[in-house]
């Protein structure tokens, strides 16, 4: 089981490493406009980029924040 997880982990790592062929336009403007006020609305509009940045689905975020507030 550990071997299977290790192979899957390496496969994902290699795929991510290959996909880094430049800086996405969203990330290029981050330094100029700031993290939240500029980046967050753009990431919300692009579900895949949102997941890559925060590692959580945009649909799951409200539930997660609600649980944090009630804890």
Per-residue model confidence as pLDDT tens digits over 1-47: 555 444 556 665 656 555 556 777 766 766 676 667 778 888 889 89
Does residue 65 sit within a domain? Answer: yes
Integer CA distances (angstroms), 29 to 3, 6, 32, 65, 67, in order: 41, 36, 5, 26, 32
Does residue 34 sit within a domain? Answer: yes
Does residue 4 sit within a domain? Answer: no
Q: Which domain holds residue 48?
A: 29-71
Does residue 11 sit within a domain? Answer: no
Does residue 61 sit within a domain? Answer: yes
Identify the pLDDT of residue 60.
Answer: 92
Q: How many independent structural domains does the chain possess? A: 1
């Amino acid at each position: 089981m550990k071997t299977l997880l290790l192979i899957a982990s390496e496969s994902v790592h290699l795929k991510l490493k290959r996909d880094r062929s430049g800086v996405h336009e969203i990330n290029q403007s981050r330094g100029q406009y700031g993290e939240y006020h500029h980046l967050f609305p753009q990431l919300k509009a692009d579900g895949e980029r949102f997941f890559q940045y925060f590692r959580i689905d945009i649909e799951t975020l409200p539930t997660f924040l609600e649980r944090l507030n009630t804890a």
